[in-house]
Amino acid sequence: MRGVVIAGLMVAVLAGCRIAGPEAEAPPAAGAITEQALPSPAEPSAPPETLAESPAEPPAEPEPEPALLAEQRRLCEAGGGQLAPRGGGVVACVRPTRDGGQRCEAAAECEGLCLARSGTCAPIAPLFGCQEVFTARGLRERLCRE
Amino acid sequence: MRMLTLGRDGPAIPDVCFGTMTFGRQTPEDEACRQLDLARERGLIFLDTAEMYPVNPVEAETRGLTEEILGRWMAARGGRGGLVLATKVSGEGSAVIEGGSPMIGRARLRSAVEASLTRLGTDHIDLFQLHWPNRGSYHFRKHWSYRPGTDAAGLRAHVEEILAEAQALIAEGKIGRLGLSNETAWGLAQWIRAAEERGLPRVASIQNEYSLLCRLFDTDLAEASVMEDVPLMGFSPLATGLLTGKYAGDVTPEGSRRARNPDLGGRITPRVFEAVAAYRGLALDWGMDPVVMALAWFRTRPFTAIPILGATTLAQLEQQLPALETTLPEALVAAIDQVYRAHPLPY
């Protein structure tokens, strides 16, 4: 992707593009709600004046942003992008494309990806995960970027 | 219409949503397209659907058809530009999913997003909702015999798992935000707390039943909605047609939902027709269509309440459209409050 800056709280890994088949699914998360007896009524709470006598905790100071991240944010925003969380503590600089939403039939027609389900240019770049795209030759493929 | 923002930084949406759940069942595709054209022309660009639609009834053979109809309509009209799309993943236990739909987990969330994107023929869903909680809830008349679960730790683990996957899906551009449906006040608070404590995405909406006849949202949920800045998307704002008066006198018109679902999912009760008659009488006293009054009333609530309009026919949609520009007089709102006291929660 052109002009992309990847920054990370952790070491961000850009593994490059690959063409992949459908991803295997993990089994659905377990979890069951079983019929339960209603809990006993709660004990009456303490009178409010008891609580009111306790001194209030001062609000916690927000932790300052790490210098590296702050610098990456500055560079990203200077280029018209925004740092977006990607999960796992990793952030990426994502910026809007100039042709987002325009019709496309091949990758060369877009600044970013040419998304195949809608046949339109992606509104932001880069796009992570697996996407249905049209390639440079206009072939429909599944493109994965991690 | 008033314009709102979906979530804190999302696309602009009108304060009225357009529902599509009958498209492909009670509403044939050509009629659905005419409704969608009219809705878009009138600014109803916020569309709600679900993977399990159409209804009624919900059947495995037709699951996903409503999304496909929406996809074909958008493709035929040159794309989804200007539209805001909301859909839902079915919760546990729905027979329309092969093998019975599993609990919603990370993999199920992702596969449902991918399948909806394909059916809708788009690469982005603005609002992806959990149709009902894994743990069940008191909605759909289950409040008459509600017994809360006790697995708070299990719920919190589930919330973190889903929000983390939603964050990844947002980063991939596949969804804009996550929404809840058929939730409780405590449940909503857990989703918000996890998002704020873990730096995960906040849920952007809660879609529960809400109408002049069904006001379970008015107390604890209303407080949670306001305090946490999570608006209500109210489904069945006309009480599945009861407030139109078409079932008055306990009749069942041919082709209506009641012809397929005789007690309207538990909404036909000994007190319901008296309540309907009172609201209709009040509207007529004010020279107003009861349908318009019922929908415009949403704007008078002390929390953000977005009605999800729905129509089987184009004529039904046309009847509702004046509500988009109607503001109820304060005296009428006060009179509605009096009717509510006289006819509280008929179901």
Query: Is A37 within a domain?
Result: no
**A58 pLDDT tier (thresholds 50, 70, 90):** low
Size of interface A-B (CB pairs under 8 A): 100
Active-site pick, B53, B210, B247, B279: B53
Q: What pLDDT score was predicted for residue A15?
A: 32
Contact present, B167 and A85 (Cβ < 8 Å): yes
Reported ipTM: the value is 0.77
Residue A3 lies in a domain: no
d(CA B136, CA B141): 12
Known active-site residue B53: yes
Q: Within an 8 Å CB–CB cutoff, is residue B124 touching chain A?
A: yes
Helix extents (H) in chain B: 29-41, 65-76, 106-120, 152-171, 185-198, 220-227, 257-260, 272-285, 290-296, 314-320, 330-342
Yes or no, beta carbons of A122 and B123 under 8 Å apart: yes
Please confirm whether the linkage preceding B56 is cis (ω < 30° from 0): yes
> Can you give the pLDDT at residue B159?
98
pLDDT computed for residue B101 by the predictor: 81
Contact A33 B135 (CB under 8 A): yes
Give the SS3 label for residue A143: strand
Mean pLDDT, to the nearest integer, of A114-126?
94
Decide if A100 is inside a domain: yes
Does position A30 have pLDDT exceeding 50, yes or no? no
A115:B123 CB<8 A: yes
* CB contact (8 A) between residue B79 and residue A25: no
- Overall average pLDDT of the B108-126 stretch: 97
Residues B127, B194, B131: CA angle, nearest 5 degrees: 35
Q: How many CA atoms lie within 13 A of B211 on its CB side?
A: 26
Task: Kindly indicate the confidence band of residue B251, based on its pLDDT and cuts at 50, 70 and 90.
Answer: confident
Q: Which residues of chain B does A130 touch, with a Cβ-Cβ cutoff of 8 Å?
A: 172
Q: Domain for residue A117, yes or no? A: yes
Q: Is the pLDDT of residue B47 over 80?
A: yes
B106 touches chain A (CB under 8 A): yes
Rounded Cα distance between A39 and A32, Å, is 18
Query: pLDDT class for A56, splitting at 50, 70, 90?
Result: low
State the residue range of the domain holding A116.
Answer: 68-145
Q: Give the Cα separation of A25 and B106 in Å (integer).
A: 9
Give B106→chain A minimum CA distance, Å: 7
Going from the C-alpha of B13 to that of each of A74, B86, B229, B317, B326, the distances in angstroms are 31, 11, 15, 19, 18
Q: Which residue has the higher pLDDT, B79 or A4?
A: B79
State whether residue B199 sits within 8 Å of chain A by CB.
yes
Residues of B in contact with A128 (CB under 8 A): 168, 171-172
Contacts of residue A117 in chain B, CB cutoff 8 Å? 117-118, 120-123
Residue of A36 and B150 predicted with greater confidence: B150
DSSP label of B64: T
| Cα–Cα dist A9/A72, whole Å | 10
Cβ-based contacts of B176 with chain A (< 8 Å): none
DSSP symbols for A112-132? S-EETTTTEE-SEE---EEEE
Q: Cα(B135)–Cα(B156) distance, rounded to whole angstroms? A: 12
B189 pLDDT exceeds 60?
Answer: yes
Substitution target in B124, B137, B142 with the highest count of A β-carbons within 10 Å is: B124
CB contact under 8 Å between A86 and B167, yes or no, is yes
Backbone angles phi, psi at B272, to 5 degrees: -70, -40
Q: Find the mean pLDDT for residues B60-83.
A: 95
Point out the residue among A28, A36, A129 whose CB comes nearest to the CB of B102: A28
Chain A contact for B121 (CB, 8 A cutoff): yes
Q: At what angle do helices B65-76 and B29-41 cross, to 10 degrees?
A: 60
Q: What is the pLDDT of residue A52?
A: 41
What pTM does this model have?
0.85
| Mean pLDDT, residues B256-263 taken together | 87
Across the interface, of B106, B136, B147, the residue whose CB is closest to A38 is B147
Q: Is residue A98 in some structural domain?
A: yes
What are B276-309's pLDDT values in tens digits? 999 999 999 999 999 999 999 999 999 999 999 9
A97: in domain: yes
For chain B, the average pLDDT equals 95
Q: How many domains does chain A have?
A: 1
- Residue B265 distance to chain A (closest CA, Å): 23
Contact B151 A33 (CB under 8 A): yes
